[in-house]
């Protein structure tokens, strides 16, 4: 995406495309599988996403899919891969003098130093590995592996780890905060200004330091959005807990309650106001979902309200309606949408010369008078 300053006095700049997608499938048993992989890879993205020396090791079709995001001088790769082996490092390799962080969601990676020093390191689903990429490493990826790989300049990070690798579980607080930040940044990366990208990059550096040292610096202002984002993701699984509190959430993230409150305040919505809003929204979703037979009292109990009267007051304060009123209005709107879809389908078929079968039963009863006239062919359309 390219954009330029609107005024003549503004400094012109062009926003580059910072994200690329590689999606290559190599037929199983192909004798030139490595060449086919490289050719198709380079045809899709050229050298924007460098391909490491590698070869598939499966008799089945081999597929690799990488969503590549460049955040200033850092890279985030969201990787799916079938079984493959390869290497990183060496002359002209893009991973030289980098710290690489692998976060494995499914499958696994295996690493060993190309010079034979040290033991083989395996990283399975639910684990992460941080490693310094010099000297070069050999790797193997098991079938159907899904992971995120962060490639980071070593300058500020290597002093925290030296030449050793660090491994741990993915559910630790520092990594959860980091990955919440990564998800947010990569989802809007192509729309960010250069200054915003640099700020995101700097925050990522501080969060990776937290992963390497086992703690996030809660007093660092630029980390507030990432901390609030991680907290929101954790909260979604805790909204039904009656004992949900700032202290419980702070303990999950390994930060102080004061730090947590400040992170939410910086985003414009206090922590418990966010919790209350999400509980109201989830309870209303349950009440208005198709086929729902939940009562207001049951929805209130499920989503952590002390009783139905608390839910009713909170809903009326936010929406100006009781939950029952909200559910009735939502049902009326849903019926209107069904009516419009029935009419639209009939009109399209009739204009295309397709014979339209009679609309009967519950659907016909649910239509308004004019819609019934149109569907029945008694009123002209278009």
d(CA 120, CA 111): 6
CA distance 132 to 152: 10
Exposure of 188 by Cβ count < 10 A (0-12 exposed, 13-18 middle, 19+ buried)? exposed
User: What is the structure's pLDDT at 370?
Assistant: 47
Greatest Cα pair distance, the chain, in angstroms, is 84
What is the predicted pLDDT for the residue at 74? 93
3-state secondary structure (DSSP) of residue 69: strand
Q: What pLDDT is recorded for position 57?
A: 87
Pairing of strands 84-88, 54-56: antiparallel
pLDDT at residue number 274: 94
pLDDT for the residue 351: 59
What's residue 214's pLDDT?
A: 78
For residue 27, give both structure tokens: 């037929």
What per-residue confidence (pLDDT) applies to 14?
44
pLDDT value of residue 1:
43
* Residue 200 to residue 2: CA distance in whole angstroms: 20
pTM above 0.85, yes or no: no
pLDDT in tens, the chain (382 residues): 444 444 333 334 444 688 999 999 999 888 888 899 999 999 999 888 888 888 888 888 999 999 999 999 999 999 999 999 988 765 546 677 889 999 999 999 998 877 777 678 899 999 999 988 877 788 999 999 999 999 999 888 988 887 778 888 998 888 988 998 899 899 999 899 999 999 899 989 988 988 888 766 555 666 778 788 888 888 988 899 888 999 988 888 878 899 889 889 888 999 999 999 999 999 999 998 888 888 999 999 999 998 999 999 999 999 888 999 888 887 765 555 545 554 555 556 555 655 544 544 433 444 445 444 544 554 444 4
Q: Where are the alpha helices (DSSP H) in the chain?
A: 33-45, 173-188, 194-213, 224-236, 246-253, 257-266, 271-288, 296-302, 308-319, 323-351, 361-365, 369-375
| pLDDT of 352 | 60
Q: How far apart are CA 356 and CA 340, in angstroms?
A: 16
Rounded to 5°, angle at Cα 82 from 76 and 86 = 70
Contact at 8 Å (CB) between 77 and 98?
no
Model pLDDT, residue 229: 83
């Amino acid at each position: 995406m390219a954009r330029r300053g609107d005024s003549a006095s503004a400094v012109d700049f062009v926003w580059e495309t910072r994200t690329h997608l590689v999606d290559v499938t190599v037929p199983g048993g192909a004798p030139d599988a490595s060449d086919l992989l490289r050719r198709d890879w380079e045809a899709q993205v050229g050298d924007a996403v460098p391909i490491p020396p590698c070869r598939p090791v499966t008799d089945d079709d081999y597929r690799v899919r990488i969503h590549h995001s460049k955040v200033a001088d850092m890279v985030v790769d969201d990787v799916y891969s079938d079984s493959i082996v390869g290497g990183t490092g060496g002359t002209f390799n893009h991973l030289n003098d980098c710290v690489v962080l692998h976060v494995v969601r499914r499958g696994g990676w295996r690493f060993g130093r190309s010079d034979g020093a040290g033991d083989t390191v395996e990283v399975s689903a639910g684990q992460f590995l941080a490693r310094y990429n010099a000297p070069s490493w050999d790797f193997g990826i098991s079938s159907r592996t899904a992971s995120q790989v962060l490639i980071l300049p070593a300058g500020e990070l290597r002093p925290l780890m030296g030449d050793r690798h660090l491994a741990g579980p993915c559910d630790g607080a520092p990594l959860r905060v980091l990955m919440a930040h990564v998800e947010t940044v990569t989802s809007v990366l192509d729309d960010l200004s250069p200054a915003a990208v640099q700020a995101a990059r700097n925050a990522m550096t501080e969060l990776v330091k937290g992963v390497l040292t086992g703690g996030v610096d809660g007093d660092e202002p630029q980390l507030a959005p990432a901390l609030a984002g991680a907290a929101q993701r954790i909260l979604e699984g805790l909204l039904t807990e009656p004992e949900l509190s700032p202290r419980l959430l702070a303990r999950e993230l390994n930060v102080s309650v004061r730090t947590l409150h400040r992170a939410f305040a910086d985003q414009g919505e206090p922590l418990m106001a966010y919790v209350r809003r999400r509980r109201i929204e989830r309870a209303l979703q349950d009440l208005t979902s198709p086929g729902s037979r939940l009562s207001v009292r049951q929805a209130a109990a499920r989503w952590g309200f002390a009783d139905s009267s608390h839910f009713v007051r909170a809903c009326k304060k936010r929406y100006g309606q009781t939950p029952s009123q909200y559910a009735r209005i939502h049902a009326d709107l849903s019926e209107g949408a069904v009516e419009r879809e029935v009419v639209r389908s009939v009109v399209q078929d009739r204009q295309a010369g397709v014979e339209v079968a009679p609309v009967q039963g519950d659907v016909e009863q649910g239509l308004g008078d004019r819609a019934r006239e149109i569907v029945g062919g008694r009123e002209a359309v278009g």
